[in-house]
Amino acid sequence: MESLVLLLVVLILCNWYGVVSSLNGEGYALLSFKQAITEDPEGSLSNWNSSDENPCAWNGVTCSKELRVVSLSIPKKKLVGFLPSALGSISELRHLNLRNNKLNGSLPIELFEAHGLQSLVLYGNSLSGSVSNQVGKLKYLQTLDLSQNFLNGSVPESIVECKRLRTLDISQNNFTGSLPVGFGNAFVSLEKLDLSFNRFSGSIPGDIGNLSSLQGTVDLSHNLFSGPIPASLGNLPEKVYIDLTNNNLTGPIPQTGALMNRGPTAFIGNPGLCGPPLKNPCSSQTPGANSPSSFPYLPDNSSAQDSDHGKSGKAKGLSKSAVVAIIVSDVIGICLVGLLFSYCYTRICSCRGRKDEHSKGGGKGKKECLCFRKDESETLSENVEQYDLVALDTQVGFDLDELLKASAFVLGKSGIGIVYKVVLEEGQTLAVRRLGEGGSQRFKEFQTEVEAIGKLRHPNVVTLKAYYWSVDEKLLIYDYISNGNLSTALHGRSGSDSFTPLSWSIRLKIMKGIARGLVYLHEFSPKKYVHGDLKPNNILLGPNMEPQISDFGLGRLANIAGGSPTLQSSRMAMDKSLERAQKGAPSDATTVASSTTNTTTNLGSCYIAPEALKMVKPSQKWDVYSYGVILLEMITGRLPLIQVGSSEMDLVHWIQLCIEEKKPLSDVLDSYLVQDAEKDDEIIGVIKIAMACIQTSPEKRPTMRHVSEAMERLIISDS
């Protein structure tokens, strides 16, 4: 009997030992990772069982034909925990991808014992500490992406031993110190280099120009690099975009190779830099200012105010006293001409008013003058009681009677009139803005302004088709844009349950279209317009979601027409509305959604550049700032005013706080864009453009031309 019991115990022990020892060593190494995970909300590791013979069927695990683990890939699963040292014992491991989780702790030194690693992708976690010098043992490493973590210390000198690297992205960490010696000569195969948003210091290595395989953007921005830009940087492939923004670089910008013909967007945030394409010329005392690699300063023709900067006083041989004399003589001449006109009017002109008493039109009169006639815009002329509809487009096929008889629906209201959707009898749909009644009626001035706007033709700018003027009524007639405005497309219609979020490709299309439209208004329109009040509510979306900028010049037209506030007073009203909203009081301001019935609380002051609230002369840099805020709103999906705890914060300060706190991209990104997370290079590129646009100082903001060019370069694919 005792022998039978002993036999049963032995059999049980054997079976138990067989179960426990059935999993191979690589399986146990992976189980140590599962044990290091404290939270697995999506159950990504639920089928990792010790009872399996090998881990090859586990989620995220890939094995070779010999059943050896070659890849561990579990991205974006919200895993919380740390990296165990046992992962380095998986000798055949080729790929480790744990990006966009919530892993913390340091990179274990033992991890670099997996000498066969070809890709190590850990970005978007909360890893901290330094990177071991053992990283140089990874001779086969091709992709190293440790971005968006909290890693610190200097980059190990041994990294130059990883000569097969094709991608090196360590951006958005806390790395310090200089780049290793031989950095540029080491990576002959390197295609992507991103060192941005760290605290690297020292000079940019001169041999970095030897990275001949680079593609896309070489991003060294938002660091502490100092000294001159090495001329050898121009040796990089010409299609490479070099981002050096926000460092401590000094001296002239070399005009060689890949550095030539670049806009200022690539160099802003370096107060010590000078020469083209920046507006501050290099002085004769600037080291290297006279070097062959630097061209003489040429003024940027995008700003008429700066067109005379950089010209030498010797250029035309005029002294200061001569210039003053010329100006004084011009002023005296203008005054004399004005006196002459005044004399002609008061002494020589013989004007007489005449009314046709038999006219059934009632009140129409005519003035006849022998020479000069007083400008009608200076008086409330009784002759301007009623004008017919004035067409600004040759395709206008309706008259005033048809317009007045048509069905009309209110689309929205604002401080600058009411907008109606008007459907003509034959089915044509129009958007009609009523500017108000009464006030100072300066018809000629209004006519000049409205007809200049009517000449604008661009696919990303709303076309003004016609206008109507009378003492009691002023109307602006546009095509009706069918897909509403950008604000509704991003956030949905108030009170409506149906909402289709915009995909990343559609958002890119809209971003680029807005930029093109602003470039046209700023540089190619007859008056080089400043919109001055750009926001998602006045960006309309056509049938194919192409953006069209509306409401430009509207403030001035409303001011001329009378009965409506000027653009500046509208700004002040918006600012007061925002203050009331911040204090919890209801806001009475509403915005015009020119192709939707959506009427929302006006948060327009969040889009206004800080200097615009000081009532200075309008500047195109106002529009650049507004565009930057719109980009952030499209990326984050958030309203321009964000609730943070018990207080409110505008979107610009919120995004700046997120960057300072090194928050992962997933915390910033619109939740509807999660499926487009693989486009993170494009998203980060657009964020950088937005950050350049929202600089507090208008001088540091790029022009819209340079912004549009940067969008075209940084965006890889949009459909």
Kindly write down the DSSP assignment for every residue of 556-621, as one continuous string. HHHHHHSSS--HHHHHHHHHHHHHHHHTTPPP--B---TTS----B--GGGGS-GGGGGT----HH
∠681-687-688 over CA atoms, to 5°? Answer: 90
Query: Residue 480: in which H helix or E strand, if any?
Result: none
What is the predicted pLDDT for the residue at 348? 36
Cα–Cα distance, 639 to 636 (Å, whole number) = 9
Euclidean distance between the first and final Cα of the chain, in Å? 81
Alpha-carbon distance 362 to 702, whole Å? 56
Give the burial class of 339: count Cβ atoms within 10 A of its Cβ; 0-12 exposed, 13-18 middle, 19 or more buried: exposed
**φ, ψ for residue 473, nearest 5 deg:** -150, 135
Of the candidates 487, 483, 476, 677, the one whose C-alpha atom is nearest the C-alpha of residue 560 is: 476
CA distances to 321, 389, 425, 455, 478 from 465, in Å: 51, 10, 18, 9, 5
User: Cα–Cα distances in Å, from 200 out to 148, 155, 178, 215, 685?
Assistant: 15, 9, 6, 22, 20
SS3 413: strand
Counting Cα atoms < 13 Å in the Cβ hemisphere of 632 gives 28
Beta carbons of 403 and 424 less than 8 angstroms apart: yes
Cα separation, 369 vs 366, in Å, equals 10
The helix/strand count (H/E) of the chain reads as: 15, 31
Residue with tokens 């991890």: 111
Q: Which residues of the chain fall below pLDDT 50?
A: 1-21, 288-318, 340-341, 343-386, 440, 564-602, 717-719
pLDDT at 329: 59
- Homologous superfamily (CATH) for 64-274: Ribonuclease Inhibitor (3.80.10.10)
Q: Which of 53, 65, 125, 64 is nearest to 90 (CA)?
A: 64
Secondary structure E strands in 645-696: 647-650
Q: What is the pLDDT of residue 284?
A: 63
| Domain edges within the chain | 64-274
Cis peptide before 292 (omega within 30 of 0): no
Q: Considering the entire predicted model, what is its pTM?
A: 0.48
What distances in angstroms separate CA 161 from CA 6, 119, 201, 220, 576, one per listed residue? 60, 15, 22, 21, 60
Task: State the amino acid at position 456 in one-letter form.
Answer: L
Closest CA to 625 of 536, 550, 695, 528: 695
Tell me if 125 sits within 8 A of 149, measured CB to CB. yes
Burial class (CB in 10 A: 0-12, 13-18, 19+), 9: exposed
Q: 3-state class of 321 per DSSP? A: helix
Q: What is the DSSP letter of 17?
A: H
Which tens digit of pLDDT belongs to each residue from 139-171?
999 999 999 999 999 999 999 999 999 999 999
- In the prediction, which pLDDT does 575 show? 40
In the numeric block, the tokens 């943070």 are attached to 644
DSSP label at residue 678: G
In order of 442, 470, 564, the CA distances from 558 in angstroms are 11, 14, 6
Q: Specify whether the CB–CB gap between 461 and 478 falls below 8 A.
A: no
- What distance lies between CA 490 and its chain's CA centroid? 15
Sign of the dihedral defined by the CA atoms of residues 580, 585, 588, 593, in that order: positive
627 vs 621: CA distance, rounded Å: 10
pLDDT tens by residue, 635-674: 999 988 887 777 888 899 999 888 888 888 888 889 888 7
Q: Are 476 and 467 in contact (CB under 8 A)?
A: yes
Q: What is the pLDDT of residue 604?
A: 63
Can you give the pLDDT at residue 388?
67
Torsion region of 538: left, alpha or beta (phi above 0 gives left; psi -120 to 50 gives alpha):
alpha
**What pLDDT, on a 0 to 100 scale, did the predictor assign at position 438?**
52
Q: Quick one: pLDDT at residue 446?
A: 78
Rounded CA separation 425/340 (Å): 55
